[in-house]
């Protein structure tokens, strides 16, 4: 019997500081993956709804937001961060009820974004140009870095608050305004964030939220006043969005999928490795772009380490993610659950062996939930579908290797290059391997570490551009070159020659 004590809530778009129902009155429902019951009803935004949000963002960009000093904008971002942290429990509960991830992880993410908003708020008044030393002293040339305008932020369901702030913090610090299009799976938290921004004193129209599916996203990407598109999601969707934006010569920030390798050498601390490998794939039910879904263990420790992982996988407490003792919740949607099943079934057809899990998990009292058992597969070929494509579920593929050269080729043998982990006591090996791995982030003797001041992004099909760090803010700026003639040089009347 399902547990569902809360009636579905109704949410409107949040545009120009106000709730706005859809022009066509169309809605969609999201589902609580723990119970299978409806969570809430949201606006299925039409192109007219999207236009209203973009127009509001553009008006705020041309008006109150641009008139604020960079220092003042930065302080408002910091205040927003304080309010999000103060409301972390509420935001985390909303997200867990929408995507099924552990309440502890969602709570931590809602609290830690305060650091992101403090960091980028502090950078807001440190965006500087430079004076160019020309060979003509009669001319002054300097550069200024200016905001682009309206930024479209299309964000995913797996870490909605965290990934939204990773995008909008540098965009706002640079002086832009934003329209957020959250995933249909987790639309509620973005609306809560926008409300808190208004409470922080951020002017109306600076942050707007429109909900809906593909049509709303396409209308946002196509809008002539959108100057930049930031998208986090699958590589197939990223290619489609980039192609669409490219028709208007608009650039994209893309943080896409991964098929991350987690490499363990035989001199590694196996207790540390066991915890790191399990957390890298099962802590978020595999629902993270950096999930360590391909594990490579040197042959000397392969059998022993795999045995330990199988034993631990069988003991993982799968259940209600709102309970403190739960170690893994459901996957976010019925479609994701079906994908997990189909990809594991296909892997078995391709010759893989199920070492643990491999089926749905029944949880007492939550019969309608989307639970899948922590799964470990062996005997997976490098070119198998499951080794080349993102599952986004709790599925780990384990493979033995002998040499550094062999495992480097295996690790780099996908179209993805978002992240990689390696475990070894050999410092020389660690840094040589890090140099050879084709990934935007490499973790040595740890996994899933991230910080506001360290750039994050992918190689190859895992994305374009960088979030976090000072590099991120540059993606939301454009450089203007200003020339000023100080005095006329009669010997050389032409300052510039074609």
Q: What are 118-177's pLDDT values in tens digits?
A: 999 999 999 999 999 999 889 999 999 999 999 999 999 999 999 999 999 999 999 999
Residue-wise pLDDT for 395-441, tens only, equals 999 999 999 999 999 999 999 999 999 999 999 999 999 999 999 99
Residue 278 has pLDDT above 80, yes or no: yes
Average pLDDT, the chain: 95
Q: Is the pLDDT of residue 203 over 90?
A: yes
Contacts of 7 (CB under 8 A, 6+ apart): none
Would you state the pLDDT for residue 489? 57
448: nearest Cα among 280, 233, 264: 280
* CA neighbours closer than 13 Å in the CB half-sphere of residue 393: 31
Instruction: Please tell me which residue, 453 or 1, carries the higher pLDDT value.
Output: 453
Which residues fall within 8 angstroms of residue 458, CB to CB, at 6 or more apart? 255, 256, 258, 416, 417, 418, 419, 439, 440
- The mean pLDDT of 444-471, rounded to a whole number, is 96
- Whether the pLDDT of residue 2 is over 60: the answer is no
> How much of the chain, in percent, has pLDDT values that exceed 90?
94
Between the alpha carbon of residue 230 and those of residues 194, 373, 476, the distances in Å are 18, 33, 10
Name, in order, each residue with C-beta under 8 angstroms of 358's C-beta and a sequence gap of 6 or more.
Answer: 344, 348, 373, 375, 377
Eight-class DSSP state of 360: B
What phi, psi does 64 have (nearest 5°)?
-65, -35
Task: Assess whether 471 carries a catalytic annotation.
Answer: no
Q: E strands within 260-394?
A: 261-264, 294-298, 353-356, 375-378
Provide the pLDDT for residue 3.
46
Tally of CB atoms within 10 A around 331: 28
So what's the pLDDT on residue 210? 98
Tens digits of per-residue pLDDT, 17-72?
999 999 988 999 999 999 999 999 999 999 999 999 999 999 999 999 999 999 99
Residues pairing with 296 in the sheet: 263, 399
Phi-psi map region of 158: left, alpha, beta (phi>0 left; psi -120 to 50 alpha): alpha
Pick 344 or 1 by higher pLDDT.
Answer: 344
Hey, is 398 helix, strand or coil?
A: strand
Answer whether residue 290 shows pLDDT above 70. yes
Q: Is the pLDDT of residue 498 over 50?
A: no
- pLDDT of residue 496 exceeding 80: no
Residue from 95, 97, 105, 289 carrying the catalytic annotation: 289
Question: What does the pLDDT read at residue 491?
Answer: 53
What are the structure tokens assigned to 412, written together? 């780099």
Identify whether 252 is a catalytic site residue.
no
Q: Which of 255, 390, 397, 404 is catalytic?
A: 255
Buried b (16+ CB within 10 A) or exposed e, 132-153: eeeeeeebeeeeebbbbbbbbb
**Rounded Cα gap, residues 104 and 46, in angstroms:** 36
Asked whether the predicted pLDDT for residue 192 surpasses 50, the reply is yes
**Which residue from 421, 130, 158 is spatially nearest to 288, judged by alpha carbons?**
158
> pLDDT at position 497, please?
47
11 CB neighbour count, 10 Å cutoff: 21
Which pLDDT belongs to residue 283?
86
Q: Hey, which bits of 200-328 come out as E strands?
A: 207-209, 226-232, 251-255, 261-264, 294-298
Mean pLDDT over 327-344 rounds to 97
Cα(228)–Cα(215) distance, rounded to whole angstroms?
A: 18
pLDDT tens digit string along 234-265? 999 999 999 999 999 999 999 999 999 999 99
Which pLDDT value is given to residue 5? 53
């Amino acid at each position: 019997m399902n547990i569902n004590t809360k009636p579905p809530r109704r949410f409107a778009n949040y545009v120009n500081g106000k709730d706005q129902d859809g022009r066509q009155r169309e809605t969609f429902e999201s589902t609580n993956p723990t119970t299978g019951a409806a969570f809430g009803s949201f606006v299925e935004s039409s192109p007219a709804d999207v236009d209203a949000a973009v127009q509001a963002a553009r008006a705020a960009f041309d008006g109150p937001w641009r008139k604020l000093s960079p220092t003042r904008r930065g302080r408002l971002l910091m205040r927003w961060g304080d309010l999000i942290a103060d409301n972390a429990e509420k935001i985390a509960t909303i997200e867990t009820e929408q995507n099924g991830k552990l309440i502890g992880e969602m709570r931590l993410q809602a609290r830690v974004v305060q650091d992101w908003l403090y960091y980028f708020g502090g950078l807001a008044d440190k965006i500087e140009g430079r004076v160019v030393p020309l060979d003509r002293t009669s001319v002054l040339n300097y550069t200024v870095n200016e905001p682009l305008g309206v930024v479209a932020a299309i964000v995913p369901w797996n870490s909605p608050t965290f990934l939204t702030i990773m995008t909008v913090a540098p965009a706002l610090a640079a002086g832009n305004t934003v329209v957020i299009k959250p995933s249909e799976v987790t639309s509620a938290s973005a609306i809560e964030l926008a409300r808190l921004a208004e409470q922080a004193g951020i002017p109306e129209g600076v942050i707007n939220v429109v909900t809906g599916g593909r049509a709303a996203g396409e209308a946002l990407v196509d809008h002539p006043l959108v100057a930049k598109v930031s998208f986090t999601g699958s590589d197939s969707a990223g290619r489609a969005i980039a192609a669409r934006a490219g028709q208007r010569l608009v650039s994209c920030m893309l943080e896409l999928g991964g098929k991350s390798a987690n490499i363990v050498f035989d001199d590694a601390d196996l207790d540390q490795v066991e915890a790191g490998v399990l957390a890298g794939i099962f802590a978020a039910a595999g629902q993270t772009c950096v999930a360590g879904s391909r594990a490579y263990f040197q042959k000397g420790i392969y059998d022993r380490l795999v045995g330990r992982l199988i034993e631990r996988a069988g003991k993982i407490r799968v259940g209600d993610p709102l309970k403190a003792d739960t170690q893994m919740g459901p996957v976010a949607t019925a479609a994701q659950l079906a994908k997990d099943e189909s990809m594991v079934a296909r892997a078995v057809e391709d010759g893989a062996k199920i070492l643990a899990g491999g089926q749905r998990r029944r949880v007492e009292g939550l019969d309608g939930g989307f639970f899948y058992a922590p799964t470990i597969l062996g005997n997976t070929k490098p070119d198998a579908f499951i080794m080349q494509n993102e599952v986004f579920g709790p599925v780990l593929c384990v493979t033995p290797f002998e040499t550094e050269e062999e495992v480097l080729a295996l690790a780099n043998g996908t179209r993805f290059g978002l992240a990689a982990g390696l475990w070894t006591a050999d410092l020389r090996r660690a840094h040589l391997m890090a140099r050879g791995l084709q990934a935007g982030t490499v973790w040595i003797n740890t996994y899933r570490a991230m910080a506001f001041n360290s750039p994050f992004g992918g190689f190859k099909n895992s994305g374009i551009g960088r979030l976090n760090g000072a590099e991120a803010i540059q993606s939301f700026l454009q450089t203007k070159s200003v020339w000023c003639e100080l005095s006329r040089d009669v010997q050389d009347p032409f300052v510039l020659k074609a």
